[in-house]
Structure 1
């Protein structure tokens, strides 16, 4: 969903399964007029959906963008999928902003995470 340039790098935490992941992978067009504003609005809308858990974003040097959005249940995902403003943004995306994209929706059955709490120690312990 976003170009989070100024957002600290931190993955969405692991949640107790099951939950859903919507993986949106896209290559954008050259003309991105209006994309940032629409993207900000979409983030505002999705955050307001009960059951939205968060999203991870990545961009490859070659221009492939990946957004993985997490939802507690199918109802939350359905609310996002059918939101009228989101549907309008999807239509505009196909018409203007994307060369290609794929969407994969999966039920997460296993999830865990790790966060380093101290600086790593060298081989000699310091």
Structure 2
């Protein structure tokens, strides 16, 4: 499936898992963009990572959703050494608050093309 401008993650048929990371950046976020880009690329290289998508608004609130084949793949990503360093730096330097949620995706669809509302 092709998505508009390549900004939407392409995922397989469910079930799969979503890791939803929402954060509020501190005013001084020097170095954050480079680390975020590196972690995004690193996640996509990991076994079991299906895809990811991310956005940040003008108020410094961002959300990244990564999609995973199974919980074991998520656990491996969580414990990856380079990811652990990024987590530590993020907590110490960049995030004033964050929320992390893991969900099992059981249904998924896209549109509006080809989708009717009943």
TM-score, scaled to structure 2: 0.83
Flag the structure with larger Rg: 1
Instruction: Give me the CA root mean square deviation.
Output: 1.8
Structure having the higher helix fraction is: 2
Shift of 1:115: 6.5
Instruction: Pick one of 37, 58, 73 that aligns with 1:76.
Output: 73
CA contact (8 A) 1:50 1:76 kept: yes
Aligned position for 1:56: 53
After TM superposition, what 4+ stretches of structure 1 lie above 4 angstroms from structure 2? none
Q: State the TM-score, normalized to the length of structure 1.
A: 0.78
| Equivalence for 2:7 | 10
List alignment gaps of at least 5 residues for structure 1: 1-7, 118-126
1:113 correspondence with 2:110: yes
